[in-house]
Amino acid sequence: MRNFKLCLCYDGSRYRGWQKQGNTPDAIQGKVEALLSRSLEQPVELHGSGRTDAGVHARCQTCSFRADTPLSCPELLELIRRYLPEDIGALSLEEAEASFHARLSCRGKSYVYFVWNSPEPNVFYRKYSFNCPQKLNIAAMREAAKALLGEHDFTSFCSLKRMKKSPVRRLDAVEISREGDMLRLKFSGGGFLYNMVRILTGTLIEVGLGERRAEDIPAVLAACDRQAAGFTAPAHGLFLWEQSY
Amino acid sequence: MRNFKLCLCYDGSRYRGWQKQGNTPDAIQGKVEALLSRSLEQPVELHGSGRTDAGVHARCQTCSFRADTPLSCPELLELIRRYLPEDIGALSLEEAEASFHARLSCRGKSYVYFVWNSPEPNVFYRKYSFNCPQKLNIAAMREAAKALLGEHDFTSFCSLKRMKKSPVRRLDAVEISREGDMLRLKFSGGGFLYNMVRILTGTLIEVGLGERRAEDIPAVLAACDRQAAGFTAPAHGLFLWEQSY
């Protein structure tokens, strides 16, 4: 059996998210797994670096799968590209070491959240960014972001009521940049809880709007209570961005 | 009656084009006219700088309309924004001189055609660019574009079989630039024939692919025959870009 590393991009708009659940055809993992199994004529299991929620996009979702095939990587990549739907793209394919696993080997990853920040609408980015026409105080948002860095119990930034695993995560960097009217929030870290990036973004937007202060972020973390943090920014502005191995 | 200048942007994907025909609800002009008439409680006629075909987008389509209203421009703009569908945006609204007419006063306009030029797919631009994975010779395309500049009979670059009006147009500039894997062809001129920008683009792509030579462009123009030019590039890569008055 050979082991492969496949990088996918996808427009999450019409999917229920990455992870397959039962036989629903509207999960990206299930869709690609079915395609691989059919075209390689063997059952293929596809592992992604992590889940993405319904409606969340991926600029790059690193995946791994094992298969027995005489095809070269370029041939296999061409075969995959031929059958993928137009909203899922295969960026690259290479053979990986036997021990490589897209989720278990992942050392860190990043997400980018896009905010269209102008009273003038942009119809072309409407499905790929959150529309916030009000003025945002970027300096205050950066200040608040600093307080989030490092290892913390991020329970306040998680939508799950009961967690089986530890709510402690390490946030390595939050970069907030602006290009024209588009604001870009990049979050890098070891791992993220359910809805964590969207709640971090919602909270930072509330700071930008002057609805809460940067100084209050430590208290939000300390509360360990979802009610203490800001709103959950909508899925369609979020992109799984890159992974490190 | 006051006269207004309104700039719209739109995602043309789900529309039959700019121009209303009868009572079909799927033309952008008809959609916005109906909205203006309803919210201003009077019949409003909306004039655009020109038509766009089915599926073509507009970064900026300058429009004009006359109406009797006590509302200020910011108030009226807010009213319009409230009722527009999510794929049509109002960029700006201002009061214009009585003689201003979006089409008749227009002195020149430009279109931009986007070509995604990489073997790696980009799912996020799939509805806003033509996908061309093969390598393109940009220098040859620029050379060919030079031969198109100036005043010519553009019959070879028009899809209409019989034209009532003159097929002579003036092409002022063709700028071909690349940002990463995205190629951008900007056409500026006094006016354009039916499908002209899409056929110019298709012909330049064929030059870029090495399927025809830059030196042959004068003969294509001289032929005054649609068969002499290249393919009609698809509508979804084309944007009406800007107008001058």
pLDDT value of position B116: 98
Q: Which whole-number Å values give the CA distances from A89 to A236, B63, B154, in the listed order?
A: 18, 38, 38
A74 Cβ partners below 8 Å, 6+ apart? Answer: none
User: Exposed, middle or buried by CB within 10 Å (0-12, 13-18, 19+), for B74?
Assistant: exposed
Please answer yes or no on whether A9 and B92 come within 8 Å at the CB atom.
no
pLDDT tens-place string over residues B123-171: 999 999 999 999 999 999 999 999 999 999 999 999 987 777 899 999 9
- Structure confidence at residue A158 (pLDDT): 94
> Which pLDDT belongs to residue B23?
67
Which pLDDT band, with edges at 50, 70 and 90, does A24 fall under?
Answer: low
- How far apart CA A211 and CA B118 sit, in angstroms, is 44
CA–CA separation, A112 vs A115, rounded Å? 10
User: Across the interface, do A120 and B86 touch by the CB < 8 Å criterion?
Assistant: no
Average pLDDT of the residues of chain B: 95
Measured in degrees and rounded to the nearest 5, phi and psi for residue B17 equal 120, -175
Q: Which residues contact B237 (CB under 8 A, 6 or more apart)?
A: B113, B114, B115, B128, B129, B130, B201
Query: How would you classify the pairing of strands B182-189 and B108-116?
Result: antiparallel
Read off the tokens for A67. Answer: 């298969």
Facing residues of A48 across strands?
A63
Checking if the pLDDT of B28 tops 80, the result is: yes
Partners of B112 in beta bridges: B186, B239
A2-10 and A88-95 as β-strands: parallel, antiparallel, unpaired? antiparallel
- pLDDT the model gives residue A160: 83
From the list A57, A92, A123, which residue is nearest B10 (CB)?
Answer: A123
- Residue A65 CB-half CA count within 13 A: 26
Does residue A66 register a pLDDT over 80?
A: yes
Residue type for position A67: A
Instruction: Collect all residues with Cβ–Cβ distance below 8 Å to B230 and sequence separation of at least 6.
Output: B199, B202, B203, B204, B205, B206, B207, B212
- pLDDT at residue number B115: 98
> Quick check: B123 contacting A, CB < 8 Å?
yes
Report how far residue A72's alpha carbon sits from residue A79's, in angstroms, rounded to the nearest whole number.
Answer: 11
pLDDT per residue over A74-106, tens digit each? Answer: 999 999 999 999 999 999 999 999 999 999 999
pLDDT value for B230: 96
Nearest CA in chain B to A74: B119
CA angle A25, A28, A29 (to 5 degrees): 95
Q: What is the pLDDT of residue B178?
A: 96
Whether residue B93 contacts residue B76, with contact meaning beta carbons closer than 8 Å, is answered with: yes
Give the pLDDT confidence of B91-127 residue by residue, as tens digits: 999 999 999 999 999 999 999 999 999 999 999 999 9
Give the pLDDT of residue A95: 97
Give the mean pLDDT of B173-198: 96
pLDDT above 90 covers a percentage of chain A that reads 93
Q: Is A122 on the interface with B (CB under 8 A)?
A: yes
| Interface-testing mutation among A123, A125, A240, A241, with chain B (most B C-beta atoms within 10 A) | A123
CB contact under 8 A, A86 and B123: yes
Cα distance between the two ends of chain B: 22
Separation CA B166–CA A218 (nearest Å): 71
Of the partner residues B11, B124, B126, the one whose CB lies closest to the CB of residue A123: B11
Q: Above pLDDT 70, what percent of chain A?
A: 99
Q: Among A71, A49, A53, A80, which Cα is nearest to A62's?
A: A49
Q: Residue B64 pLDDT more than 90? A: yes
Cβ neighbours of B55 (radius 10 Å): 18
On the question of pLDDT at A148 being above 70, the answer is yes
Query: Which residues on A lie below 8 Å from B89 (Cβ)?
Result: 120-123
The residue extents of the domains of chain A are 2-95, 108-244
Integer angstrom CA distances of residue A239 from A53, A127, B148: 10, 12, 42
Per CB-CB distance under 8 Å, the chain A contacts of B126 are 11, 86-87
Q: Answer whether A9's CB lies under 8 Å from A28's CB.
A: no
Is the domain spanning B2-95 CATH 3.20.20.410? The answer is no
Q: Is B58 helix (H, G, I), strand (E, B) or coil?
A: strand
User: For residue B116, what are the CA distances in angstroms to A6, B112, B136, B232?
Assistant: 22, 13, 11, 16
DSSP B71-104: --HHHHHHHHHHHS-TTEEEEEEEE--TT--TTT
Could you tell me if residue B185 is left (phi over 0), alpha (psi between -120 and 50 degrees) or otherwise beta?
beta
Bridge partner residues of B92 (DSSP): B7
pLDDT tens column, A168-196 = 999 999 999 999 999 999 999 999 999 99
Q: How far is A95 from chain B (nearest CA, A)?
A: 18
Percent of chain B predicted with pLDDT > 70: 99
CATH architecture of the domain formed by A108-244: 2-Layer Sandwich (3.30)
User: Quick check: A126 contacting B, CB < 8 Å?
Assistant: yes
Residue pair B24/B66 in contact by the 8 Å Cβ criterion: no
Closest-CA residue to B65 (of B20, B33, B23):
B33
Answer whether residue A118 shows pLDDT above 90. yes
Confidence of residue A23 (pLDDT cuts 50, 70, 90): low
By Cβ distance, the residue of A91, A120, A126 closest to B86 is A126
Whether A165 has a pLDDT exceeding 90, the answer reads no
Size of interface A-B (CB pairs under 8 A): 48
Mutate to test the interface with B, among A124, A126, A179, A240 (most CBs of B within 10 A): A124
Q: How far apart are CA B83 and CA B74, in angstroms?
A: 15
CB A3 within 8 A of CB A96: yes
**C-beta separation of B19 from B29 below 8 A:** yes
Q: Which residue of B has its CA nearest to A128?
A: B124
Q: Looking at the predicted structure, is the pLDDT value of residue A228 above 90?
A: yes
Q: What is the pLDDT of residue A162?
A: 74
User: Is the confidence at residue B30, as pLDDT, over 70?
Assistant: yes
- Which of B88, B120, B126 has its CB closest to that of A123? B88
Judged against a pLDDT cut of 80, whether residue A140 lies above it is answered with yes
**Residues A156/A224, Cβ–Cβ less than 8 Å:** yes
> What is the predicted ipTM?
0.87
